[in-house]
Structure 1
Amino acid sequence: MAMDAHEIETLIRSALPDAQVEITDLAGDGDHYAATIVSEAFRGKSRVQQHQMVYAALQGNMGGVLHALALHTKVPEKA
């Protein structure tokens, strides 16, 4: 059973409460998503570390019920 976009967003927000999260279903099949995540928690972290934080938030679902997730992570722009 695939994960829906709302479930992905909920998991990410629970681990990164300040995050702005946008999930896009790439294929319309509920199995291939893209996520853009903006969080202050990413500041000072490498892109790999940022992605590892998101994968940890997904609680082991990546590669299982969540087949494909293209990640775009960034820190908020300073005003």
Structure 2
Amino acid sequence: MTVQPVIEQIRQRLQAAFAPTELEVLDEGHKHAGHAGEGKGHFHVRIVSAAFTGCVPIKRHRMIYAALDGLMNHGIHALSIDARPDE
């Protein structure tokens, strides 16, 4: 059995949860060399979805964290989020 890379797991979970019109997941570990785990597990997500319409930014972030439950601290060490409603 093959284990999917964390970045693919993030993409799949966010696609399933939000059906985004735009989704970009970047591994930013190289920016954090020297940090705990040598920067492994640092990601940036940019996502645009109708699911975020009417939601304040903190609610959007909470929705994303809920979708990624189980990966936080188990593959994801740090996550920066740019989540916007589809206009």
Question: Which residue identity lines up with residue 11 of structure 1 in the other structure?
Answer: R
Segments ≥4 residues shifted beyond 3 Å: none
Alignment check: 8 A CA contact 1:35 1:69 kept: yes
Deviations 1:26-78 (A, max 9, x none): 1245511100010011011010000011011112322333111100011123x
Q: Report the TM-score when normalising by structure 2.
A: 0.74
The corresponding residue for 2:6 is 4
Between the aligned partners of 1:19 and 1:49, the Cα distance in structure 2 is: 19
Q: Report the TM-score when normalising by structure 1.
A: 0.81
Tell me the SS of whatever aligns to 1:24.
Answer: strand
Aligned counterparts, 1:1-79, within 5 A: 4-28=6-30, 30-77=40-87
Alignment check: 8 A CA contact 1:4 1:30 kept: no
Question: Which residue identity lines up with residue 66 of structure 1 in the other structure?
Answer: I
Structure 1: tracts of 5 or more residues without a match: none
Which one is further off, 19-28 or 7-16? 19-28
RMSD: 1.7
Larger-gyration structure (1/2): 2
Counting aligned pairs with the same residue, the percent is 31
Q: Which has the higher helix share?
A: 2
Alignment check: 8 A CA contact 2:60 2:83 kept: yes
